[in-house]
Amino acid sequence: MDRDTVEPSVDSIPGERAREWVEFHHESAAPSTYVYEFVWDHTAPAVGPFCTDVDGNVLLDFAGHVAAAPLGYNHPTLRERLDEFDLPDPAKTAGQDFYVASGSLSDHDFPAPADLMDRLTARSSHYGLDTAFLSNSGAEAVENAIKVSYDHTGGDYGITFEGAFHGRTLGALSLNRSKSVYRREFPEIGKVHDVPFCDDRSCTAETCSCGFLSGERSQLRRLLDPDRGAVDPDDVAYLIVEPVQGEGGLRYPSDAFTEEIAALCAEHDLHLVADEVQAGVGRTGEFWASDHYPYEPDVIAAGKGLRVGATLANSDVFPDERGRLSSTWGGGDIVGALQGALTLDVIEDEALLDNATERGAQFRERLRDEELDGVVDVRGKGLLLGVECETKTRRGEVMEAALQRGLLMLGCGYKTLRILPPLDVRDREIDLAVDLLAEAFEATA
């Protein structure tokens, strides 16, 4: 497959083989979030954003495995490096107290979990975050972020935002304020308050429509007012925020919103947790999406494109007591840590933060120029892109029409398309995607 010339090519989706695989899958799989009956053939040609399904259809994947495939398929540098290693069994090591490495510290070619943690803390040093705890997933990273926050602050209140999504484990579920299906009838952590999340990225205190900045004081400021508020700021264990709400609808906050968060964190010494699971690791054109904003996180939870889960904070934030934090696989998924470390190297060596910024701008400008009927808004930072449709039904129709033309996307929020190209996406591929998306809107008008 030649990345310079390949184009999407679809006969029928799902084809006969895909239907067989889907039926077989559902014989033993629990119900989950199934978006497409698309079955990737991992033995067939794939490169960059292009992949092949089991019926031979070639697709342009701008769903990006929900931001968990930051370099797309078979990135040559990553593939070449991975092929060098004769991977061991077991490929996971248990606990943070079991170490794995190769060669000497000054001369080794096989990045270990310690190398991944070193790379992460180096990219987080401007926030003073010098310590990492590895886990399996972004949800586990969030769990550990709130655990260390409770432990460090001694507070017992958490504050989250309307529309938030932080994962599907029980602790993380308690922080979710998006679709009710995520947490309905599940037990929850107590003492979690929520306030509105900005839904107008250009608003000011005077024009705010979401309610966060209503009147002379924000709702968060009212909640924490030492004299009249419902929560004593000294009792707050953490304030957790997604720099960009992903599942909540690709919502980008305004400067007024983020400035108020920064001001209140400084005023009340609030412990700020940034959930960077989807938006982090270069997706927005900065390494951390928080880098776009004036607040400074005390803890970062990462995952997805990192290939493993990671909780980052200052060493003083993590508990000193042994056994307070632990995980069977906390010592490191050898393959995951290797992929994560090499992914960070590729992002830096190939200047992919700049590419994300440039290609994201190209997508937004081109799609806005199309002036498509049914498009309410086109928004994004870097390659975390959203296209809001006029109705939920229209979004579903556009997704299906795009799939039949060979373009994979995801939905989020109520009526928004979520578009997540690989960080090394090329201008030709952006143009192909915009053309296919325009055709899908026109076909469903």
Q: What is the pLDDT of residue 108?
A: 82
Read off the pLDDT of each residue in 256-278 and give the average, rounded to a whole number: 97
Contact 65, 339 (CB under 8 A): no
Decide if pLDDT at 96 tops 60.
no
Decide if pLDDT at 400 tops 90.
yes
Q: What is the pLDDT of residue 254?
A: 93
Decide if pLDDT at 429 tops 80.
yes
Contact 134, 336 (CB under 8 A): no
The strand order across the sheet containing 131-135 reads 131-135, 309-313, 299-302, 272-275, 236-241, 157-161, 192-195
Q: What is the pLDDT of residue 102?
A: 73
CA–CA gap between residue 137 and residue 277 (Å, rounded): 9
Work out the burial of residue 358: count CB atoms within 10 Å of its CB; fewer than 13 is exposed, 13-18 middle, 19 or more buried.
middle
Q: What is the pLDDT of residue 91?
A: 66
Contact 173, 183 (CB under 8 A): yes
User: In angstroms, what CA-CA distances link 342 with 89, 109, 125, 230, 409?
Assistant: 20, 11, 19, 47, 26
Name which residue leads in pLDDT, 138 or 114.
138
CATH code for residues 92-349 = 3.40.640.10
- What topology does CATH give the domain 16-61+351-443? Aspartate Aminotransferase, domain 1 (3.90.1150)
Q: What is the pLDDT of residue 199?
A: 82
Nearest to 412 by CA among 383, 444, 387: 387
Residues 285-304: pLDDT tens digits?
A: 999 999 999 999 999 999 99
Residues 408-417: pLDDT tens digits?
A: 999 999 999 9
Decide if pLDDT at 220 tops 90.
yes
Read off the pLDDT of each residue in 360-380 and give the average, rounded to a whole number: 96
Instruction: List the chain domain ranges.
Output: 16-61+351-443, 92-349
Q: What is the pLDDT of residue 204?
A: 84
CA–CA gap between residue 230 and residue 169 (Å, rounded): 27
**Which band of pLDDT confidence, cut at 50, 70 and 90, is reported for residue 430?**
very high
Residues 152-189: pLDDT tens digits?
A: 999 999 999 999 999 999 999 999 998 888 888 899 89
